[in-house]
Structure 1
Amino acid sequence: MSKVLRFEIQVPNPEEAIEFYTNSFGWKFEKMPGPQEYWFIITGESDRPGIDGGLMKSPDGATRTTNSIEVPSIDEYIKRIIENGGQVVVPKTAIPNMGYFAYCLDNQGLLFGVSEANTEA
């Protein structure tokens, strides 16, 4: 069984969102290295229930929240998603030294992400 790993916020202006969520909820943001602007969101102490998240600039200017589901093999799960009526909208993409991700739609059009940890990516 695969668990929701994190939520992801996509907005047109990440800096404004960082200020909003920091001031409103006390969340902490850590910028990740790499070609894409992406921040990890720490929503609370690790000994408390809940999940952390990510923040990125929306590629199409829309605002949305998605959930990312951790899977042991992104290739295997993409096959399952397609077999069950879903579709891939952003193909498997490497995050160097971290793993892979893809964005998919379920069989009713809901956007979600799948993520595989793999330091050889």
Structure 2
Amino acid sequence: MSRVIWFEIPADDPGRAAKFYEKVFGWQVEKWDGPFDYWLINTGSDEEPGIHGAIMPREMGKMVRDTIGVDSYDDFVKKIEMEGGKMLSEKMEVPNMGFMGSFQDSEGNIFAIIETTM
């Protein structure tokens, strides 16, 4: 079974958003040392139910987006399209992570899938 494993929050000012979530929820937020502006969120202990996520500049996304882990990116693309979903971005390699892409479901909601290779 595939589970939601990540979320992303778009923000006009990621630093300001990071302070908000740190102060309100006690989340740990730190700027990612990667090729684009991305802030990693640790929402709590891995022993508790829940997932971690990130804050990103609003131009990278307009709404909260969930990422679902899959065992085969290519197989799930076929399933998504067969059930009325639509590919929004090409398959992208994320260094040291795997392959991911964005999709729209049958109701217009946006989500991403990732096949991890680590």
For the criterion TM > 0.5, the same-fold answer is yes
Matched, 1:55 2:55: yes
Rounded Cα–Cα distance in structure 1 between residues aligned with 2:93 and 2:73: 11
Aligned to 1:73: 72
Q: Structure 1 50/100 Cα, relative in aligned 2: closer, same or farther at 3 Å?
A: same
Structure 1 length normalisation: TM-score? 0.88
Rounded Cα–Cα distance in structure 1 between residues aligned with 2:117 and 2:38: 18
Measured after TM superposition, the shift of residue 117 of structure 1 is 0.8
Rounded Cα–Cα distance in structure 2 between residues aligned with 1:72 and 1:10: 27
Extract unaligned runs of 5+ from structure 2. Answer: none
Aligned to 1:26: 26
Q: Aligned-residue CA RMSD in angstroms?
A: 1.6
Structure 2 length normalisation: TM-score? 0.90
- What is the percentage of aligned positions where both structures have the same residue? 38
CA shift digits 1:36-76 (9 cap, x unpaired): 222221011111111111221122673x2111100011111
CA shift digits 1:69-109 (9 cap, x unpaired): 00011111111111111001122111112112111000110
- The question of whether the paired residues in 2 share the 8 Å contact of 1:29 and 1:40 is answered with yes
Extract unaligned runs of 5+ from structure 1. Answer: none
Matched, 1:109 2:108: yes
Rounded Cα–Cα distance in structure 2 between residues aligned with 1:40 and 1:98: 14
**How many residues are paired up?**
118
Letter in 2 for 1:68: T
Rounded Cα–Cα distance in structure 2 between residues aligned with 1:40 and 1:61: 15
